[in-house]
Amino acid sequence: MNDTKHHITDVVIIGSGAAGLSLALSLANYCKVSVISKGALTEGSTMYAQGGIAAVFDKQNDSIESHVEDTLQAGAGLCDREAVHYTATNAKQCLKWLIEQGVPFDMEFDEKGKERFHLTREGGHSHRRILHAADATGKAVQSTLISRVQAHPDITLLEFYNAIDLIIDKQAQEPVVKGLYVYNRKKEQVESISAKFVALATGGASKVYLYTSNPDVSSGDGIAMAWRAGCKVANMEFNQFHPTSLYHPELQNFLITEAMRGEGAHLKRPDGSRFMPDFDERAELAPRDIVARAIDFEMKRLGANCVYLDISHKDKDFIIEHFPTIYAKCLSVGLDITKEAIPVVPAAHYTCGGVMTDFSGKTDISNLYAIGEVAYTGLHGANRMASNSLLECIVFAHAAAKDILSKIEQHPEPSGVPAWDESRVTDSDEEIVITHNWHELRLFMWDYVGIVRSTKRLERALRRVELLKQEIHEYYANFRVSNNLLELRNLVQVAELIIRSALERKESRGLHYTLDYPELSDNPMPTILKPKSN
């Protein structure tokens, strides 16, 4: 019990995506930083981001006010105007910082032959303001930032370390974070880290749903850890679903771009009939949330596992030229999209809610920060506008760095933390319990707490989550931890927060749609949940 390996650092950052690595690079010239990542350093949603990052670069035609107004419009009346303004105002300088780090955004020549950034436009934006690196912006950001942190002498990278729980001193005048316990996945042992400051940059929680566009690491760990530690969380009912991800056992989490519908693909039922014209006069070109709801409705009505996206009526060369990646990927699993329809389902894509922070990324607990998708800053409101999320990662990473650096000099050296106690646990003999509960949780979240909700479905899900929570808690108390068990424990916690938030919202707004309250309320407020200990 006392041979726990112990690390000491100034700032420990949990997560190696855009948020975590930006924070690390902004701090490391001034203090010692450790970044821990649950899987490989590359693995997180950042790596898979396609479109780009929003910022006003075209001063002639665009303005910060316009970026603010578009974001507020997308957020359906629930954004915090100040947070939106803060983000949009800081966007350009954050993008310049990324450019200085070496991110290769696409360039073009203007009419006078001068080089400038190529800006694209995406849903919700009234101007061209998206910087991008072809259609793999996230990969460009992730690999650039990784090469920078790897080259920095004062950044320690702990790969395959899974953060278990924060260590909080609750005896202090106000609760203060002292460090955390981590599970070293390679050595299969628990270690501890003490630090002056801790930052959660653990990404979103979309893995709580059966179908998701996110990588496996998106299990809401940071939200669950912060909640257990005593932080408030907000707006957990707002999950963004992408309408069309491939439904295929050999190729999961693969998005089929909305551009395919833009180029004339039809959505069809298993019997081959089209259904979008029955739901909206814009048919397949209706907005993302309407298409996702229609697919969900048809799947539930027919008891179907998926619907089909069909572009095979178009010319073969046209399809291959416009969608080379999708064509190749689908062909790799034996699906020729020039001849047959693509099986698709909607997929959980983005967690708009999270750990409540101020504009410096500070949470309710002293010295604990939350940045990136794990956080609720008020930026996204009831619906996230495309390309604002990577932006939020950088803007709030920089803000958190500034705040930490303003305090670090006066902060005493990190103190010791209690050793991890394994004296009462044994090795699990029934791993099947974890596998089963994992699947059950993600399935009922999909069926009852997905795109279309009702009070009855939510209450049904809550009863199941309570049972699972109890079972997982007993398991956690009696058996040695494993990666799957830690993730399941967090997923079930996040599921409960989503359900409780959804039950509190007595209206349909943005990404939250319930059959029992289909109208908008007159006075919308964020849903804020407080842990009992607060």
Q: Which among 166-174, 215-223, 292-300, 400-408 is the span making contact with ligand FAD, rule CB under 6 A?
A: 215-223
Cα→Cα distances 232→114, 370, 493, 502, Å = 49, 12, 13, 16
- Residue from 9, 16, 26, 87 touching ligand FAD (CB under 6 A): that is 16
**Should residue 52 be labelled a site residue for ligand FAD when binding is judged by CB under 6 A?**
yes
Using CB under 6 A as the binding rule, whether residue 510 contacts ligand FAD is answered as no
Q: How far is the CB of 301 from ligand FAD (least distance, A)?
A: 28
DSSP-derived 3-state class of residue 102: coil
Q: 285-288: long-range contacts at Cβ-Cβ below 8 A with a sequence spacing of 24 or more?
A: 285/261, 287/123, 288/123, 288/241, 288/242, 288/243, 288/258
CB of 357 to ligand FAD, least distance (A): 12
The SS3 assignment for 33 reads strand
Task: For residue 49, state whether it binds ligand FAD (rule: CB under 6 A).
Answer: yes
> Among residues 129, 288, 453, 489, which one is catalytic?
288
Q: Is residue 213 close enough to count as binding ligand FAD by CB under 6 A?
A: yes
Minimum Å gap between C-beta 463 and ligand FAD is 27
Among 43, 70, 191, 496, interactor with ligand FAD by CB under 6 A: 43
Written as one string, the DSSP assignment of 367-399 is: TEEE-GGGEE-SSSTTSPPTT-HHHHHHHHHHH
Between 374 and 451, name the residue whose CB sits nearer to ligand FAD. 374
Place of tokens 């303003």: 406
Cβ distance to ligand FAD smaller for residue 224 or 503: 224
In the complex with ligand FAD, which residue's Cβ is closer, 350 or 513?
A: 350
Residue ranges of the alpha helices (H) in 185-253?
221-229
CA 83, CA 410: separation in Å to the nearest integer?
Answer: 29
Chain mean position to CA 56: 24
The residue range among 18-26, 71-79, 185-193, 441-449 that interacts with ligand FAD, by the rule CB under 6 A, is 18-26
Q: Which of 28, 163, 326, 499 binds ligand FAD (CB under 6 A)?
A: 163
How many residues bind ligand FAD, per CB under 6 A? 44
For residue 339, what are its two tokens? 């001849």
Alpha-carbon gap, residue 518 to 170, rounded angstroms: 43
Smallest distance, Å, CB 272 to ligand FAD? 29
Whole-angstrom distance, CA of residue 508 vs CA of residue 521: 8
Please identify, using beta-carbon distances, which residue of 458 and 485 lies nearer to ligand FAD. Answer: 485
Does position 381 bind ligand FAD by CB under 6 A?
no
For ligand FAD, the binding residue among 7, 34, 44, 344 (CB under 6 A) is 44
Q: Which of 9, 45, 367, 527 binds ligand FAD (CB under 6 A)?
A: 45
* Residue 224 CB, nearest approach to ligand FAD (Å): 9
Does 140 bind ligand FAD (CB under 6 A)? Our answer is no
Rg of the Cα atoms in the chain? 23
Q: Which of 7, 8, 38, 501 binds ligand FAD (CB under 6 A)?
A: 38
**Length of the chain counted residue by residue:** 534
Are 307 and 298 in contact by the 8 Å Cβ rule? The answer is yes
Whole-number Å distance between alpha carbons of 193 and 9: 8
Using the rule CB under 6 A, is 195 a contact of ligand FAD? no
Least Å from the CB of residue 55 to ligand FAD? 11
Q: How far is the CB of 506 from ligand FAD (least distance, A)?
A: 28
- Contact between 214 and ligand FAD by CB under 6 A: the answer reads yes
Joined tokens for residue 172: 């202090």
* Residue 109, helix vs strand vs coil: strand
Strands of the sheet containing 375-376, edge to edge, are 375-376, 354-356, 233-234, 528-529
Give residue for tokens 């101020």: 358
Q: Which residues touch 67 (CB under 8 Å, ≥6 apart)?
A: 54, 55, 56, 88, 91, 125, 129
If one asks whether residue 361 binds ligand FAD (CB under 6 A), the answer comes out as no
User: What is the smallest separation between the CB atom of 287 and ligand FAD, expressed in angstroms?
Assistant: 17
Binding of residue 488 to ligand FAD (CB under 6 A): no
373 binds ligand FAD (CB under 6 A): yes
Asked if 274 is an active-site residue, the reply is: no
Options 138, 361, 378, 526; binder of ligand FAD; rule CB under 6 A: 138
Q: Please give the Cα distance from 316 to 294 (Å, whole number).
A: 28
Q: What does the block give as tokens for 34? A: 């450790």
Contact 256, 309 (CB under 8 A): yes
**Which chain residues interact with ligand FAD by CB under 6 A?**
14-20, 36-39, 43-46, 48-53, 137-138, 161-163, 201-203, 213-214, 217-218, 221, 255, 350, 372-374, 387-390, 393
- For the annotated catalytic residues, the residue numbers are 288
